[in-house]
Structure 1
Amino acid sequence: MKAEVRGNTTSISLQNPSLFNNSPQNPLSGALQGCLGSLDGACIEKLLLHCASALESNDGTLAQQVMWVLNNVASLVGDPNQRLTSWFLRALISRASKVCPTAMNFDGSSTIQRRHMTVTELAVYVDLIPWHRFGFCASNSAIFKAIEGYSRVHILDFSITHCMQWPTLIDALAKRPEGPPSLRITVPSCRPPVPPFLNVSYEEVGLRLSNFAKFRDVPFEFNVIGDDHQLSDHHQMMGKESSSEYFHFESLLNHLTPALLSLREDEALVINCQNWIRYLSDEQQSGVRGFSLRDSFLRTIKGLSPSIVVVVDEDSDVSAPSLTSRITTCFNYLWIPFDALETFLPKESSQRIEYEADIGHKIENIISFEGFQRIERLESGVKLSQRMRNAGFCSAPFCEETLGEVKSLLDEHASGWGMKREEDMLVLTWKGHNSVFATAWVPSGLEDY
């Protein structure tokens, strides 16, 4: 078998495939009945699981046979199932190249070309579907309520969207009846090596925010913490995000102290976590009382006595060690953005293909990698909520004003988007399926903030 990646297409050729042999000895014969030419999601999922099982048992021949079938279904410009299949196939080929390197002529180290956006392109990216804006809207509304009466506000921002959340909040603060507070935003020097990537530095982002705040008459300060931020910026600008070795969050924990953050008693401290906590390792650290980095982070920020902590992430669980479990969860979850984009963008839209390629980046990491290289370790909103309670936080329910603002936001998008309350969470849905959750928390004892 020969597999190659050229641009945005995956090309596979398999000589003399035996998958058409319907003998009882062929494990694929039953699974393939009625599947060839079918775009049924359930059938595609079965094929993906057959391939995963073959790879887990080091059966390269069977894996190649299934990939041949998947390649005849996959298309980057087809319907949502075909498009999603193409990215799963790419990830499986990448994984197979590691498991069976002699059978695969494939360089799995650089399967997806990274693209770096301008600030304008990033704004369009964020606005395309409410995947990010839902979290921005819910979080900003909760933050606005939590900082009522404060003349100083400090936001410690952990996110992957390069501060795109904050112009809207700055604008709201400028209209506050009692006048805007002075606002400080602090970002960490490192970020997970995941899309979206930006072609400007942290300093440039801070300068743009500062200019906007000045225009809105909001006193503003922007800081980057972590000694290695210049190195991190360099790697981002050079397009080297594909390696997780540049995500040095462990060392950053040492910077999360009142002294190094220059915390002030008269300011409200806000901790903002947008699509971030999933990238912190959940494996127990030796010598840290059995805590994982994820739990250590939550206990560290609780020790800072924040006025509010907002956590937003995708409502799915892809942390299982089993490849087949991850494929099932991932396939049945990530069809959502593919299906949503189908409602308003043409099949050959470059904007749509690029957006889906960023989702493909996620799929590749979930499927192709293991160990420290697999950084996509998302957990469901229910699990995250329990983790927050275990770390000493109490839920801060979203108010009716927040619900109204989120509803107005969703009215700007396709009718398939909706929201619902679910335990501690506000959840973004697509055709009734959970996609993104938003939660707000306060340290135990500060529930009446």
Structure 2
Amino acid sequence: MTFEEGPDLTTYHHHLLDWLEDSISFIPSFLDDPYSIPESIAGSEWWTQEQDQANLLQMPPSTTPIAVPSTTTTSSSPQSLPQPEFSKKRKLPTSPTTPNKVAAHGNRRRTGPDASDERNGKFEEEGEIPQKPGNGRKGQGKGNGGNSGNGNKEVRWAEHLLNPCATAIEVANLSRVQHLLCVLHELASPSGDANHRLAAYGLRTLTRHLSSTRIAAAVNVPARGGGPADDSPCFVSTEPKLFRSALIKFHDVSPWFALPNSLANASILQALTLDSNQRLRPLHVVDIGVSHGVQWPTLLEALTRRPGGPPALVRLTVAGAAAPPGPFSAAPPGYDFSSHLLRYAKSIDLNLRIERADSLAPRSLSLTGGEILVVCAQFRVGHGGLDARTALLQSVRELNPDLMVLSEVDGGRAGEGDGSFPAEFGRRAELLWRFLDSTSAAFKGRDCAERRVVEGEAARVLEGRAPEEGKERWREMMVGLGFRDEVFGEEAVEAGRALLRKYDGNWEMRAAEAAVGLWWKGQPVSFCSLWKPHTGSQ
């Protein structure tokens, strides 16, 4: 079903910033330059300028030297790196700010019939060692979004150090673990390009995992344990004002969550009936997602522009506690978007009620007859084990909603791997690489506090389970639980395409009958799908 003269959903960020400014007449001029903040925002409640505002928007690079295990000589030069696994011929960089190249995966030399990149991690003899970015640099420049490599040839050296280290820990290869940890400590940096940052977050995870193994006491790990990413912020540890700023900035520069949110909002609009009684039917949206309120200003504004006006009542029930915790699910203590969203709704003459629920039980949600019920589950169902996600989806099915929106990370590799720590860690590292690589482009290679917050939160995926299911496996699961897939409307798909044109050209949207996928550099990132209860199913 389509809606006539539907709202323009491409103005996502305008309406979001209207909400922040508490005025529907505000048109943000800083979207042309996402690193400047106009005086109109600076004077609002959410964007109060203080003396330390400059420090909020851009975190100065750390000048603290990175600790290196005592088995090597501490030095800022790559010449001090351990030698056994690398070439005898090494080319030093001509510029301290340009990362050196390492051989691509396909150019590596195997050392035996059973050798592999994951087992030995050896580079081609003529390869070059990447260099840690020097202090005082913000990033790797705007031209390539902070990515390392030559032109279109992507070099992903961090995974070729992290994955062999995970394997060495698993098989208790003491000397190899010691060597790779040393190399990673020398190269890891939370302010370099995507490889340096992945090395930093991966090193932290590996050293934490190492502490629980039988070889922990024999490996010389620096006192700080996790290396340069130890102090990286995450959502829970972030001051609420910086947390809000990071949410808004990330939605403005990256479609990672903005595109699924746009598709979800457009589909919720489609779920509303267009008969003469539509204003008499309340709209009830159950929010099981990671937007922390950022998704909803656009939907509320779009509701006011529908033919016939908005529903008589819009209910928003935040039920995040009903889903297993995962990356991006938590908020810092003291953060509450309800008052700001209610004030925005009042400014656009929309009757909004916001409630919270700890479960999906009908009594907890205070369901009433006659309302249009939509369950919006954005990047939350996939966390936890199979039993947890099955129980959550069964709870949704028992609600018999008019529509369910399901967005998840596209694992795309179901059934691969042996379930061991190295296999699981490798899949997590690959997912985090896509995130870090895309945020390098999104922030134009610039290091700032907002980027560190969202990347620090994304790095939590290394500590838990990586998404296992691709969209086809999710479809089998949903059908088995009594749902049927719903096709996206043309307006929703076109709005998504229009929104995506705002971002880096490496992003791609692929629309299929059962889902709309988001891809980065030809690799799947996530998908958004629509579901309705199958008639007669239990």
Q: Verify the 8 A CA contact 1:44 1:85 in the aligned structure 2.
A: yes
Q: 2:129 is matched with which residue? A: 37
The alpha carbon displacement at 1:139 in A equals 0.5
Q: Residues 69, 172 of structure 1: CA spacing in aligned structure 2 closer, same or farther, 3 A cutoff?
A: same
In structure 2, distance between residues paired with 1:123 and 1:9? 32
What is the match of residue 245 of structure 1? Answer: none
Partner SS state of residue 345, structure 1: coil
- Looking at structure 1, the residues matched to 216 and 465 of structure 2 have their Cα atoms a distance apart, in angstroms, of 23
Aligned positions, number:
395
Residue 406 of structure 2 corresponds to residue 311 of structure 1: yes
Shift in CA distance, 72/167, structure 1 to aligned 2, threshold 3 Å: same
Residue deviations 1:6-65 (CA, integer Å, cap 9, x gap): 99985332415976179x999858557445505774554333222111111233332121
Q: Structure 1 length normalisation: TM-score?
A: 0.78
Instruction: Report the Cα distance in structure 2 between the residues aligned to 1:358 and 1:10, rounded to whole angstroms.
Output: 22
Matched with 1:353 is: 452
- Aligned-partner Cα distance in 2 for 1:264–1:58: 59
Aligned to 1:174: 304
1:131-146 aligned within 5 A: 131-146=256-271
1:341 aligned to 431, 439, 442, which one? 439
**Higher fraction of strand:** 1
- Alpha-carbon shift at residue 359 of structure 1 (Å): 2.4
Larger Rg: 2
Structure 1 CA distance for aligned equivalents of residues 445 and 366 of structure 2 = 50
Percent of counterpart pairs with the same letter?
A: 24
CA distance in 1, matches of 2:334, 2:314: 21
> 2:394 and 2:499 mapped to 1: Cα distance?
33
In the TM superposition, residue 197 of structure 1 has moved relative to its aligned partner by 5.1
Distance 2:70 2:209 in 1: 17
1:158 aligns to 2:288 (yes or no)? yes
Matched, 1:302 2:397: yes
Following TM superposition, by how much is the alpha carbon of 1:169 offset from its aligned partner in structure 2, in angstroms? 0.5
Shift of 1:345: 2.3
Q: Measured at CA, do residues 198 and 66 of structure 1 come closer, stay the same or move farther in structure 2, by a change above 3 Å? A: same
Pick closer, same or farther for the CA change 1:342–1:377 going to 2, 3 Å: closer
Partner of 1:234: none
Cα distance in 2, alignment partners of residues 443 and 75 from structure 1: 48
Relative to structure 1, the CA distance from residue 11 to residue 439 in structure 2 (aligned partners, 3 Å threshold; closer, same or farther) is: farther
Instruction: Select 1:267's aligned residue among 360, 363, 371.
Output: 371
Deviates more, 1:425-434 or 1:77-86: 77-86
Structure with the largest fraction of helix = 1
Kept in 1: contact 2:284–2:373 (CA 8 A): yes
Aligned mates of 2:438, 2:165 — CA distance in 1: 27
**Aligned CA distance change for structure 1 residues 7 and 446 (closer, same or farther; 3 Å):** farther
Counterpart residue number, 1:231: none
Secondary structure in 2 matching 1:37: coil
How far 1:198 sits from its partner (Å)? 3.9
Distance 1:196 1:29 in 2: 35
Give the counterpart of 1:77 among 163, 166, 191: 191
Aligned pairs for 1:172-251 within 5 A? 172-181=302-311, 182-188=313-319, 190=321, 192=325, 194-195=327-328, 198-199=331-332, 201=334, 204-226=336-358
Stretches of structure 2 lacking an aligned partner (at least 5 in a row): 1-61, 73-80, 87-110, 131-147, 150-154
State which of 307, 331, 334 in structure 1 corresponds to 2:429. Answer: 331
Distance in 2 separating the partners of 1:420 and 1:53? 35
CA deviation after TM superposition for structure 1 residue 410, in Å: 0.9
Contact 2:193 2:445 in 1 (8 A): no
Displacement, 1:376?
A: 5.2
- AA aligned to 1:140 is N
**Larger CA deviation: 77-86 vs 104-113:** 104-113
Give, in angstroms, the shift of residue 193 of structure 1. Answer: 5.8
Hey, what's the Cα distance between the residues in 2 that align with 1:183 and 1:263? Answer: 13
Q: What is the rounded CA distance, in whole Å, between the counterparts of 1:134 and 1:78 in structure 2?
A: 27
Which secondary structure does the structure 1 equivalent of 2:337 belong to?
helix
- Aligned partners of 2:515, 2:369: CA distance in 1, in Å? 30
In the alignment, structure 1 residue 403 sits paired with structure 2 residue 528: no
1:426 corresponding residue in structure 2: 516
Task: State the partner residue of 1:88.
Answer: 202
Deviations 1:58-94 (A, max 9, x none): 3333212112223344333333222222221222122
Structure 1 unmatched runs, 5+: 1-5, 227-251, 283-291, 366-373
Closer, same or farther: CA 75–200 of 1 in aligned 2, 3 Å: closer
**Distance (Å, rounded) in 2 between the aligned partners of 1:7 and 1:269:** 53
Conserved? CA contact 2:486–2:530, under 8 Å: yes
- The answer as to whether partners of 1:55 and 1:96 remain within 8 angstroms in 2 is yes
Distance 1:347 1:110, change over 3 A: closer
Taking the aligned partners of 1:346 and 1:46, their CA distance within structure 2 comes to 22
Which residues of 2 match residues 344-383 of structure 1 at below 5 A?
344-363=443-462, 365=463, 374=464, 377=467, 379-383=469-473
Distance 1:173 1:132 in 2: 21
Matched residue, 2:385: 281
1:135 Cα deviation after fit: 0.8
After TM superposition, the structure 1 stretch with the greater mean CA deviation from structure 2, 257-266 or 404-413, is: 257-266
Determine helix, strand or coil for the equivalent of 1:265. Answer: coil
- Residue 166 of structure 2 contacts residue 422 of structure 2 at CA under 8 Å; is this kept in 1? yes
Q: 2:331 and 2:287 mapped to 1: Cα distance?
A: 17
Q: Does 1:63 align with 2:177?
A: yes
